[in-house]
Structure 1
Amino acid sequence: MTGAEPMLKVENLHAYYGKSHVLQGVDLEILPGEVVALLGRNGVGRSTTAKAIMGEVAPQGNVTFKGQRISGLESHRIAHLGLGYVPENRDIFPMMTVRENLVLGIKNMRRSGRWNIEDMLDMFPNLKARADTAAGVLSGGEKQMLTICRTLMGNPDLVIIDEPTEGLAPKIVQQVGDLIATIAKAGVAILLVEQKLSIALRIADRVYVMGHGNIVYSGTPKDFLGREDVRREWLEV
């Protein structure tokens, strides 16, 4: 990937909640097909970074995706450019079936993507067994998988996945990690907002660490493992 132009480039990104200055000049980039983990303690601005990139929080600064400036665009326009977003709240439609939720993720009915609905169901026997069941009765882990799969139905080139393993049992955490690795193998770039180092370091090509609304470290997982000082100051509770 050396020499490749970034698929996503974030420069001097600031964001506010009211008078609270949450993001204070964030810089990061993701290359085509690259998996990047965004690490940090709760409250340092990781989820706000994802929301600002997607236009759900008003961004100040410059965000470009596939060479096009997207900062200032509405969220639905950003999504249609090929930038997928899996929010941390597992936002499914509870009264609709699993299959109907997946259909809602399709951005272009006339153009086939990397995956179809049956591919998604085959990846997860639990979802396949409940394909025609209301999504509201799924477990937390199944809802998380459905949210990710629905985003993939839009055939994104890059997916931002925010805290996908939060509150899940260890066995389900492993399955979610395997799904993210499968997405990466299909050539989709990923920005993974995650606290569990085991998941992040297993699949990431590079890591960024956030602290106090800014990036305080970037490097490879191998380099990061040698930086006990960074982990102690910015990650350990």
Structure 2
Amino acid sequence: MLEVENLHAYYGKSHILQGVEFKVGEGEIVSLLGRNGVGRSTTCKSIMGLVPPRGSVRFKGEELAGLSAHKIARKGIGYVPEDRLVFSGLTTRENLEMGVQKAGADVRWSIDDAYRLFPRLSERAEVKADLLSGGEQQMLSMCRTMMGNPSLVMIDEPTEGLAPQIVEQVGDFLLEVAASGVSILLVEQKLSIAMRVSHRVYVMGHGQIVFEGTPKDLEDDAAIRKEWLEV
């Protein structure tokens, strides 16, 4: 579904991504792992057109590199950034309504689905988003993106700063999204959640992919974990 080849990206003169290559299949959860600063978030932003990419980004066989972010979103790619970016002056329900696909579209996700997966959002439906906790804002950000019925969603550090119980809920949410046929590119630092939900994992280091395999492959490769993941 998503094929990234020889992807390069720059911030000024800084060469952040240096030939990144990976694939995400239909209904697959693929995790992009690595320490802070190795280029994982930049990879998502480059795919989304928020950072000018050099190289190839193909989605369903169509080249996306060079398109604007709103055109890429209309192709069926959703993006949940690390900083969540909820509409603080709107209620939880209004935030979800902002993400709803236009009438007549192939609707796979509804506001009722969001409330079912995260009952706390239903309880806080009429509360303004800036009064929600960090965990509630993360739930809202992910569900609002799903209201647009993407075929693939990129989620950047969804469990950062969340309580263990909420982390488990996020993991269950990711599994349900994938079970519905939606592909997921997950940027994550918590190995526990990535290893639980991922079909495959890639490890990044110094702007390049340094490992590709299944969670079991990574579990068995102590050298890779020590060099590129452990603090």
- On whether the aligned pair clears a TM of 0.5, the verdict is yes
What TM-score do you get using the length of structure 1 for normalisation? 0.96
Aligned to 2:190: 196
What secondary structure, in the 3-state scheme, does the structure 2 residue paired with 1:118 have?
Answer: helix
TM superposition shift of 1:124: 1.3
SS at match of 1:154: coil
1:41-94 CA distance string (max 9 Å, x none): 000000000000000001000101011100110001101111110000011001
Matches within 5 A, 1:100-139: 100-139=94-133
For the 8 Å contact 1:8–1:31, the answer to whether it is kept is yes
Q: Which residue of 1 aligns with 2:172?
A: 178
User: What CA deviation, in whole Å up to 9, does each residue of 1:74-115 have, x standing for no partner?
Assistant: 001101111110000011001101111111112323224111
1:32 equivalent to 2:26? Answer yes
Output the aligned Cα RMSD.
0.8
Identity of aligned residues (%): 61
Paired with 1:109 and 1:24, the residues of 2 have a C-alpha distance of: 41
The answer to whether structure 1 residue 98 and structure 2 residue 92 are counterparts is yes
* 1:226 aligns to 2:211 (yes or no): no
**How far apart, CA to CA, are the structure 1 residues paired with 2:204 and 2:60?**
24
Residue from 47, 50, 57 that aligns with 2:44: 50
Q: Give runs of ≥4 in structure 1 deviating > 6 Å.
A: none
Q: Does 1:87 align with 2:63?
A: no
Letter in 1 for 2:7: L
Contact kept in structure 2, 1:98 and 1:134, CA below 8 Å: yes
Amino acid at match of 2:196: R
| Cα separation, 2, equivalents of 1:135 and 1:174 | 22
Using the alignment, how far apart are the partners of 1:224 and 1:195 within structure 2?
A: 14
Give the TM-score, by structure 2 length.
0.98
- AA of the residue aligned to 1:19: K
SS in structure 2 at match of 1:182 = helix
**Which residue of 1 is the match for residue 146 of structure 2?**
152
